[in-house]
Structure 1
Amino acid sequence: MSAASCLLTEDQFLCSICLDVFTDPVTIPCGHNFCKTCITEHWDIDLPYQCPTCRKGFNMKPELQVNTVISEMAAKFRQSAQLIPEEVPRDVYSGSKMKTWMLFLAFGQQEGRNHTEPSGWLLDNSVEE
């Protein structure tokens, strides 16, 4: 599998309700993911029960399934944000560089890289948008 086909984007770690990195991510029956608090509060206010993304309706309040994969990746994403040096503007990590950083987080540990060093930057030259 090529590096480009495994690329993870920042949007994959954002809840479409609060537009922030997932907190306690859950999956609903249609397959969409939300923060547990966001979808619970949404359904407490907005009836009938339906997915805010695809609008699929549910007869009863759906059971929420904890999404451990997204939970682990969102935690790594939050940790990586803390590793970014303060003197580097945050927008430097936008676009393809953010995607590169996410790829580094997903696969860097398997390749024995040290997460505190910016070795993920080396991938930026090999990934095209």
Structure 2
Amino acid sequence: MGKIKLNNIRVHARHGCLKEESIIGSDYRVDLEVSADLATPSVSDNLSDTVDYVHLNNIVKEEMAIKSKLLEHVAKRILNRIFSEIESITIAEVSVSKINPPIGGDVESVSVIISSNK
């Protein structure tokens, strides 16, 4: 078993409950960690034997491009796609963070973290 992490995937997206958020958008950070059996690729050195992190990054970018009111909804969609498209992943955790959220205070970010087993 092993883990693959994608850290600080930065995207601009239009999530939120406020009308302005869906028009102007905000900056987001997504962190992703997945677990899979990495024994074979550690020996074979073949991309086809492992979890392709380019694929993971594309899932994150595509799901972040779909408007949602809640970060929880976006995070769950990302997890669902990961499990449906990449069979070898057994556990995944995704953190979706809104940078400078419009909550009436000096807050760097707000994050939702969801993890799931296959």
Same fold (TM over 0.5): no
Of Structure 1 and Structure 2, which has the larger fraction of its residues in helix? Answer: 1
Query: TM-score, normalized by length of structure 2?
Result: 0.29
Of Structure 1 and Structure 2, which has the larger fraction of its residues in strand? Answer: 2
Query: TM-score, normalized by length of structure 1?
Result: 0.27
Higher gyration radius (CA): 1
